[in-house]
Structures are given as C-alpha cells and as structure tokens.
Amino acid sequence: MASLSKILLLSTFSCATFIPSSQAVSGRAAEVRDDPAPVSDRAAAVKEAFEHAWNGYYTYAFPDDELRSVSNVGINTRNGWGATAVDALSTAIVMEETDIVQEILNHIYQIDYTQTDTTCSLFETTIRYIGGMLSGYDLLTGPYSYLGFNQSDAFPLLNQSMVLADTLSFAFNTPTGIPYNNLNITAQTSPDDPVNGLATIGTLILEWQRLSDLTGDPKYGDYVAKGESYLLNPSPPSGEPFPGLLGQDVSINTGEIIDTFGGWIGGDDSFYEYLLKAYVYDSSRFSNYLDRWLLAADSSIQHLASTPPTGPQNLTYLAEFNNTTLILESQHLACFDGGSYILGGLVLKNQTFTDFGLDLVAGCRNTYTSTATHIMPDSFGWDPNNVPADQASFYAANGFYYTNAGYYLRPEYLESVYYAYRATSNTTYQDWAWEAFVAINSTTRTPTGFSEISNVTDPTGGDKLDVQDSFFLAEVLKYLYLIFDDAAPVGVAADGVETWVFNTEAQYVFLFPFLLFSLGLCFLITLTLIDGADADLFDSPLKVVTPQNCTTAN
C-alpha cells in the first residue's frame, strides 16, 4: 500500500512537471484559455493598480523584500529573499503579466534560501515563499500553461520549495514535534521560546502536504501533521472554552494549550481557516480536520455571534473570548471569517453556513462604509460599556468604535467578498468590492505604490506609514481582480466541487485528488517511464520523456 501510494505520488509529480506547455491540466473550473477573453473595465483598473505597485517595487526596492512606498527605498522584512516578488508571482500569472512573471522567475532561480541575516518565521516563510512558489508551479504547469512557460521555467519553483522546506525542517525537531516558529536559518537553531501559537502551528498543513504530494516524499506533510495533532485533540479542557474554540498559546514541550483567550482573530485566524481547507484539499485524509471546523463553526454561531445594540439593524460580528467571557472586539484580520463560512456552506452544501457567512461579510462592510475614508479600521469594538467618549456619536450611528484606526493594506474583507460573489453571483458583491477598491486606491496610493495609513477616520487617511506589504500584491489585488474577471480559468466553484483552495496568503493550492483524477491516463503511461528514474528527477527534468497524453479526461 505504502509503495503503491508512493508510485501514485511520483507519477502525479512527474506528469504535472513534464506536461507539455501546449497541453494544460484542465478541469471544470480550470479550462484552457487559448484566446483570453477581454477583462472588464474594473478588472483592468485593478490590473493598473498592480502594475503601479509592482513598478514601484521593482524600480526602488527589488530584490529587497518590500517597498517603502513614500521614501522609495527597499526594506528587508522577510529574510531578504525578495518577498514581494515571490508573493506576487501568482497574481502576475492570473493577470497574464508575462514580463513580470519572467522577472520573478529569473529572481527565484537564484535565491539562496539557506542564508539569511535575520530571524526567519516558519509561518510567514511557509505562506509567502513556499506557498508562492508552489502556486506558481501549479498554475504555470496547469491552467496557465497557455502563457508559454515551459517545464524548465517551472521546475525550479518546485526545487527551490524543497530546498527551503529542507532548510526549515529542523524547526520540527522538538519534544512534541510542534515546531518552533522563530528560526536562525544559518545556525539551524531556534531561540529557546517554549511556546508557539495556534495560527503559526495550524497554518502549515496545506503548503507542506502539497509539497509532499508534488514530490512524492511524505516527510513534509508528516512533519506538520505531528504538531497539528495536538490542536486536533486539544488538552487540557481549559484550553477549549467552547467546543472547537481554543486558547492561543501552545506549549512546545507538552503540547498543552496554556491560555483561555481566542477568537477568529490574529494569532488564531488561519488555524480555523485551514481546518476546513485541509478537508477540501483531501477529504479522506483530513476528515478529522473538518470535524474540528464544524465544532468551531457551530460554537461561533451559538456563542460568539454578537449584534451591537446601536447602529444599523442586524449587524453580525464575531466576538473574542477569554474562557467563556465574551470580549466585544474584533479585527480586520478576522474578516476572512465570512469567506470561511461561505466556503464551508458550498462544499458541505449547507445554506445555514453560507447565510451566516454573508451576514459576517455585511458586518465587515459596515465597518468600511461608516468611516470617512470608507476603509475599515484595523481593530474595533462594540461594547456599550467601553465606548471612548470622543466616539460616542460615531458608535451610536454605526454600531462600532475603532480601537486601532490604521489600515495596513489588509485583504480579509475583500477575500470574503470574493467568496460571497462566487457563491451567489450577486453583482452587489462586485459593487461592494469596487467601492472598497476606489477608497483604497484614492487614500493609500503614493506616486510609486501603495502605503499603509494611520487613520481611516480622517478623510485624508492620516499619515502614510511608508510600507507596501507583499500581501497587497498577493492578496488584495488578486481577490479584487478575480471578483471582476469572470473569465479567469480558475475560480471558487459555486457548486462546491472545488479543484483548488487558496492558502491564507491567496496562493493557489491545487487539490491532490483532482490532479490524480485528471491525470489518470498519464498515470498509466508514467508507470512505465518512471521505472528507476526518480533518482534523476531533480537533476535533469528534460531527460525524462514527456508523456504525450497527459490531458484531463473531462
């Protein structure tokens, strides 16, 4: 059994890698587009914003990680490997920006992932770098092979992902297998912090499992699954105040959850996101992840859903908790929650979840449309006993007050609007996305890019904070573009039969069973070719004979 699955994995890998660029891996939601349809004016406007952001980065910051978009210099925030370039690759592919794709590929080929002067976050490195490279690999060898990049263009994306994952893998060498998050790559050591967090442990499985499934080496997925097992079987009971809802801090030495505070907020957020998405990725292998998502989703509807006593009627927010006491606060980061419920509603065919998700999206929209800039503050509250005196009338009118007025170019609201639009085809959600885009474009734009701002309740946005985050290109502009480009070859499927999921950085993760299915024919051919060839796979991909019929069967 084990060796058969290894052969299956290898054949999937080799077909995906060596498929001719004139033939695409295609599927119901991933059709070959030889003759791209013209995009809408709105999609073109988003593309213009992407070019603006990229050109500023490329001119003033490349190959540093991010652009200081006011002072026009580069800054290394993510180990100096060119985070914005790697993170933006899949967006450039989806927008068919082939020159930018080539620039990014040329860069990725020569990154040395074994060296960095700064502390490396396992989580951030996974979602941006490994996620970005695997996404580019799957897109260029699959639905976007019509862009004309060949196997030798795409192959280093996979190879570099392995180099990076191998470099990081010492992080899992702990008493429990729960990884350290903060790493000294060069020395292969971690500062002795015995605590890791829910999100930083629970947001690795998609990327590392995908790497295992593409390379046929199960070790990557196995590393992550071991640490995650403590989150799937949490202890002690105090660490799970409501069924499925966990505290935030986890002991690396014992696997115990050591506090009682949490929510769908930063520090926890993408742990819940990945419970569902791991199930979507492989429903048989990760069915226990779905069980945990269902517990959390039901508990949140029952215990965390909260309506402010003031403001527009029927606003729905999700509260935070400390033990079973609710804290009536939330964050921009949490606004992915609507999208998670909608995706759950689609794949489980459960309208209750979809409708609740749409309510959460509407709640987040209220925090956008209510401010002077029409952009949401980074965090907000709605506790009638905690309203700041100078925000009393704002609270009465709008049903929330800000606790941090900044906007840090975050994507989560637009991410959820994207799911809302795909699930309903209701063009109101396109309008919601457009109004947010116009606001972001007019308030955060600089002559060379886009910048975080300090105060969304001031009509000017307050100060420009001189940072253009890589996720603005990876996520904000990708979700916006996909909302307006209905002809894109890949999109969330309204019937719930998904062929890929986004990681938490809006990087594509193509489904393992889907590839196996669509490459079934390829599998048979490859079995004969692969015999003894796996040792050579990583040295010389072009030596392997290309199977001629590796197209999908549907």
Ligand X SMILES: *[C@@H]1O[C@H](CO)[C@@H](O)[C@H](O)[C@H]1NC(C)=O
Q: Which is nearer to ligand X, 462 or 520 (CB)?
A: 462
463 binds ligand X (CB under 6 A): no
391 binds ligand X (CB under 6 A): no
Specify binding-site residues for Ca(2+): 504
* Binders in 242-261 for ligand X, by CB under 6 A: 260-261
Contact segment (CB under 6 A) with ligand X among 55-63, 279-287, 497-505, 534-542 equals 534-542
Out of 156, 202, 244, 449, the only residue in the binding site for ligand X (CB under 6 A) is: 156
* Residues 506 and 478 sit within 8 Å (Cβ to Cβ): yes
Structure tokens at 361: 């999206």
| Greatest extent of the chain over all pairs of C-alpha atoms, in Å | 74
Contact segment (CB under 6 A) with ligand X among 3-11, 182-190, 192-200, 206-214 equals 182-190
The interaxial angle of helices 269-281 and 337-348, nearest 10 deg, is 20
Contact segment (CB under 6 A) with ligand X among 58-66, 147-155, 193-201, 498-506 equals 147-155
Contact segment (CB under 6 A) with ligand X among 200-208, 453-461, 500-508, 543-551 equals 453-461
Residue given tokens 């062929």 in the structure block: 499
Q: Which is nearer to ligand X, 62 or 341 (CB)?
A: 341
The amino acid sitting at 102 is Q
* CA–CA gap between residue 397 and residue 310 (Å, rounded): 7
Smallest distance from ligand X to CB 1, Å = 29
Smallest distance from ligand X to CB 366, Å = 12
310 binds ligand X (CB under 6 A): no
Rg (CA), the chain: 23
Q: Which is nearer to ligand X, 187 or 535 (CB)?
A: 187
Residue given tokens 């052969």 in the structure block: 7
* HEC letters along 311-346: CCCCCCEECEEECCEEECEEEHHHHHHHHHHHHHHH
Helices (H) and strands (E) in the chain, counts: 21, 18
Number of neighbouring beta carbons within 10 Å of residue 115: 12
302 binds ligand X (CB under 6 A): no
163 binds ligand X (CB under 6 A): yes
Structure tokens at 436: 């947010």
Q: Which is nearer to ligand X, 177 or 363 (CB)?
A: 363
- Contact partners, residue 532, CB within 8 Å, separation at least 6: none
Name the β-bridge partners of 320: 327
119 binds ligand X (CB under 6 A): yes
Smallest distance from ligand X to CB 320, Å = 8
457 binds ligand X (CB under 6 A): yes
Contact segment (CB under 6 A) with ligand X among 7-15, 149-157, 278-286, 545-553 equals 149-157
Backbone angles phi, psi at 312, to 5 degrees: -60, 150
* CA–CA gap between residue 468 and residue 78 (Å, rounded): 13
Q: Which is nearer to ligand X, 401 or 514 (CB)?
A: 401
Out of 71, 253, 288, 323, the only residue in the binding site for ligand X (CB under 6 A) is: 323
Sign of CA dihedral 83, 84, 89, 90: positive
Site string for ligand X, 189-228 (x = CB under 6 A): ----------------------------------------
* Binders in 428-447 for ligand X, by CB under 6 A: 428, 438, 441, 445
Out of 2, 187, 389, 535, the only residue in the binding site for ligand X (CB under 6 A) is: 187
Number of neighbouring beta carbons within 10 Å of residue 157: 25
* CA–CA gap between residue 18 and residue 11 (Å, rounded): 10
The amino acid sitting at 268 is D
What is the chain's length? Answer: 554
Out of 31, 458, 466, 534, the only residue in the binding site for ligand X (CB under 6 A) is: 458
Specify binding-site residues: 504
Number of neighbouring beta carbons within 10 Å of residue 189: 12
- Contact partners, residue 138, CB within 8 Å, separation at least 6: 16, 500, 508, 509, 510
22 binds ligand X (CB under 6 A): no
The catalytic position among 87, 153, 268, 378 is 378
Q: Is the peptide bond before 20 cis (omega within 30 degrees of 0)?
A: no
Q: Which is nearer to ligand X, 31 or 458 (CB)?
A: 458
455 binds ligand X (CB under 6 A): yes
Q: Is the peptide bond before 36 cis (omega within 30 degrees of 0)?
A: no
Query: 87 an active-site residue?
Result: no
18 binds ligand X (CB under 6 A): no
Q: Tell me which residues are annotated as active site.
A: 378
Binding stretches for ligand X (CB under 6 A): 45, 118-119, 150, 152-153, 155-156, 159, 163, 184, 186-187, 238, 260-261, 298, 313-314, 322-324, 350, 352-353, 358, 362, 405, 426, 428, 438, 441, 445, 455, 457-458, 462, 538-539, 542
